[in-house]
Amino acid sequence: MLFSSIPFLFYFLPIVVVLYFIVPRSFKNVVLLVSSLFFYGWGEPRYVILMIISILAGYFFGLSIEKNLNSKKAKILVILSVIFNLLILGYFKYVDFFIDSFNCLSGLSIPFLKVSLPVGISFYTFQILSYTIDVYRGHTKAQQNIISLATYICMFPQLIAGPIVRYADIEHQLTDRTHSFTKAGEGIKRFVIGLTKKVLLANLLGEVVSKYAVTTDISMLYSWLSAFCYSLQIYFDFSGYSDMAIGLGKIFGFDFLENFNYPFIAKTVTEFWRRWHMSLGQWFRDYLYIPLGGNRVSKVRWLVNIFIVWFATGFWHGASYNFIIWGLFYGFLLIIEKLYTFRYLDNHPFIGHIYIILITLFGFVLFNAADLSSLGIQLSNMLGLSDIPFISYETIYYLRSYVVIIVISIAASTPLFKNIISKLKENKVAKLILDILEPFVYISLFILVISYLVDGSFNPFLYFRF
């Protein structure tokens, strides 16, 4: 079930909100848990059992680790927890990739198992891992109430695509959180902003990308346009989802951490990844990079650590060689920055911004490639290495048709609108006018979104792949 769907917006969410606020405080987590399992089972009922098994395993591992804390047995248990969860993730997400790779190397023809990928498994697996590891490290207490732990793991606002919420960050909110009209109002506004980004920006940009994939009128400029629109599409698609998740969390009394912070205004790749999908970057930093030794080791080992982390980051995104190449591509760039170019780019913001835009475009071409062959074709088209014209009639048509949405998207990917509003609110009269207009703006945006959805228009969600 998509957040940007009529069933969710007009049936599921209103029913859950009403039930949530009419039941006593002691039953609110039960409502969230049952509704989350229903939400997940709506699209994949058979994988609800898998999720319940993962929850039970996380619960008993957490209790056992705490019971044996500061002993060798606790270390064995946390290792078993990591192995158990990674085996489940590995089987459902990577087994056919491993079979294919083995067939290529050995010349055999072992048949694929054709295991379908459970939606959101990469996200909730990482949440379970962070919980058991933090219990082992003594950063948090094991949760005695299985309902509370299950609510944390499968809470529907962040179940499908994050942000990756750590148990330690919301431990106390699971049993003692604040509900208010003010907080719920903030949550509704944040949800509408995310919904608008997803439906009115990401979906429209995605139309350009999908049409490029099937066109016979390819040009060099069209290839650049597709790469540019995809970079903006995936940003608004994923950051929009994160906004909706954070907004829904506020409605139910939770405060989830931010996941995006205008990454396209970065001057370096290092800064870009501090602003993009921040919860994932922080997860790999705290649970892989630092345990490997981080930068507190020899230079050679430090460089190896970076490559390991970025190999894992790429592979986490999907069972495909393009994701591995994408991860190693960014690992290589980060090493070059740390050794040579970071200070120069940071001190020359204009050059840094141009550099980041170009790197991002090529990076997302890598990310979006269906296979290595299609990757090579689009890169050749963009670099003028193919026998295609610079511009075509179809390119001109889509540039004219989407120029307004592209310009709005560029502006919305920066803090421009936020800064303008903040500046205007410094004036008392302007602030009063904005406060009066604000509810009408949000209502208008919601109506526009619903009109688009009712029309049955293009409405994918990119991160369901991961």
Assign 114 to helix, strand or coil.
coil
- Residue 8 backbone dihedrals phi, psi, to 5 degrees: -70, -50
| Whether the Cβ atoms of residue 275 and residue 285 lie closer than 8 Å to each other | no
User: Distance between CA atoms of 89 and 396, rounded to whole angstroms?
Assistant: 44
165 in a domain, yes or no? yes
Assign 186 to helix, strand or coil.
helix
Read off the pLDDT band of 216 (50, 70, 90): confident
Among 141-145, 316-320, 372-376, name the most confident range.
141-145
Number of other CB atoms surrounding residue 414 within 10 Å: 12
41 in a domain, yes or no? yes
Are 107 and 199 found together in one domain?
Answer: no
pLDDT of residue 67: 93
Q: How many domains does the chain contain in total?
A: 2
| Whether the Cβ atoms of residue 356 and residue 350 lie closer than 8 Å to each other | no
pLDDT of residue 465: 54
pLDDT tens-place string over residues 184-206: 999 999 999 999 999 999 999 99
Stated length of the chain = 466
Token pair recorded at residue 386? 């193919």
Token pair recorded at residue 206? 């995605």
Domain end, chosen from 148, 177, 206, is at: 177
Domain end, chosen from 144, 177, 210, is at: 177
Are 138 and 207 found together in one domain?
Answer: no
Read off the pLDDT band of 214 (50, 70, 90): confident
pLDDT of residue 213: 87
pLDDT tens-place string over residues 70-129: 889 999 999 999 999 999 999 999 999 999 999 998 888 889 998 888 888 999 999 999
Are 162 and 219 found together in one domain?
Answer: no
Global model pTM greater than 0.85: yes
| Whether the Cβ atoms of residue 178 and residue 253 lie closer than 8 Å to each other | yes
Q: What would the mean pLDDT of 159-172 be, rounded to a whole number?
A: 88
**Residue 429: domain span:** 183-267+348-454
Residues carrying an active site annotation: 317
CA dihedral 41, 45, 47, 48 (to 10 degrees): 50
| Whether the Cβ atoms of residue 318 and residue 466 lie closer than 8 Å to each other | yes
Of the candidates 177, 190, 248, 191, the one whose C-alpha atom is nearest the C-alpha of residue 28 is 177
Query: What is the amino acid identity at position 355?
Result: Y
Question: Residue 117 gets which letter from DSSP?
Answer: P
| Whether the Cβ atoms of residue 49 and residue 121 lie closer than 8 Å to each other | no
Quickly tell me which residue has 């205004």 as its tokens.
Answer: 265
Read off the pLDDT band of 466 (50, 70, 90): low
Domain end, chosen from 159, 177, 195, is at: 177
Of the candidates 209, 200, 204, the one whose C-alpha atom is nearest the C-alpha of residue 4 is 200
Read off the pLDDT band of 456 (50, 70, 90): low
Of the candidates 77, 421, 397, 73, the one whose C-alpha atom is nearest the C-alpha of residue 211 is 397
